Structure 1
Amino acid sequence: MNFDELTRFLEKRVQLSMPGESAHQIMKPKLPNGAPLKMRHEVPPRKGGVLILLYEDQGLIHFPLIQRPNYDGIHSGQMALPGGRFEEEDLDQYQTALRETHEEIGVHHEQVKIIGNLSEFFVAASNYMVLPVIGRIDFKPRFVPEPREVHDIITPPITDLIDPNKLKEKEITVKNGFKMQCPYFDLEGRTVWGATAMMLSEMVQILNEFPDK
């Protein structure tokens, strides 16, 4: 998979109609009996942005994922794309994704070329409307984790996302003992599930359209 050819393909592809909800549903958790999860919120969702940052290393295209620290919150210990919530100083959700990526893993926004974005995604668990931004960087970054927000960083090759052997399912128990049946990506031995997996599922569908994958 050629890095420049892939990013040129992505730049054009994201301008067209996107898979959106049909891709998200593939990785959506369910109740153990197979019933869909339903969550309601009384207030409008907050905006957020995350970054799928592509770079090349030894002939393979990689992207970083972070593991959140353990804390008293709904996303404790989970794998995620770097990113966070929209702040007043942000011009848009693109800037949110770039700012948060710099804060969390040390990659400066000036080093990143924006390719485009996937479909905006509603994270029901935390009531956020998140824009997944795709970017590229033309060298292997030196990642610097912010210890209060990042416990660990993994950098799987993008080809792992389209490897059917990496797509699995299991029961996951979250806060307060709540159980869900969850499809997930097994990336570098980590379980990538929930909102992050659902957003990456749209990336998978687009990558599968690339003629030289």
Structure 2
Amino acid sequence: MIREFDRWAYDNRLRAWRAEWKLIVAFVMLAVVMMGGWREQWLVLIGMAYWIVARARVPFSVYGKAMLAASVFLGLSLLTLVVSVSVPFQITFIDSQLQPAAKLAVRSLAAWSCLFFLLITTPAPDLIAVLRRMRLPAALVELCFLMYRFIFLLEQAAAELMLALRARSGGTHWRHGGMLMYQLWMKTWQSYEAFSRSLAARGGVASAGHTHQREKAHVPLVDVAAGIIMALLLGWAWRKG
């Protein structure tokens, strides 16, 4: 899934937008979600879906996977609000917490849609270049780049270990999950030590080498009109709230 998201970050229709503009849009919408009511949150959720699926031309299946994954983690977290477990093992539902849990779910999904818009439409090297232009500390920028690189190494190592486990014993027992986590930790630590030794052997590097595609400043008129309409709808919802 991670590689699929990264591929669409390069192939989407909003690739021509400058990374700064998409960063501003994402964080402005995120601020609206955090400070606004349920009307604004639903408008942002629908608006982000429009920008991702209709304008960026990201397949709905990809958008659905991202929202489903967020919904699963969110649902597990919200169980602590609506379910109570007493000392003599007894499970009860708290009706009074259903409405706050529903509001929290909408707010969380709307916030995730803003961040996913930035993730699925902007390649990581472009975001790192924006951080550099913002004059952030070099150590922080390099840490972000190394984390981005480490995610793919971790995914590849996990896929290889799972394939090896299934080839040897089927990988269906719960103990195989523990074996996978332990071996993944060991392999990751070995990769980290090898990377550290390679840097030390070269005398270290001042910064990690990464390039980003030259950005274009052209924005279609349709996108400008859609942005204005969304801003007007948010202003109307804000007044109604």
**Shared topology, TM-score over 0.5?**
no
Q: TM-score range by the shorter chain?
A: under 0.3
Structure 1-normalised TM-score?
0.26
- The structure in which a higher percent of residues are strand is 1
Structure 2-normalised TM-score?
0.24
Looking at both structures, which has the greater relative contact order when contacts are Cα pairs under 8 Å and sequence separation is at least 6? Answer: 2
Give the structure with higher Rg (CA): 2
- The structure in which a higher percent of residues are helix is 2
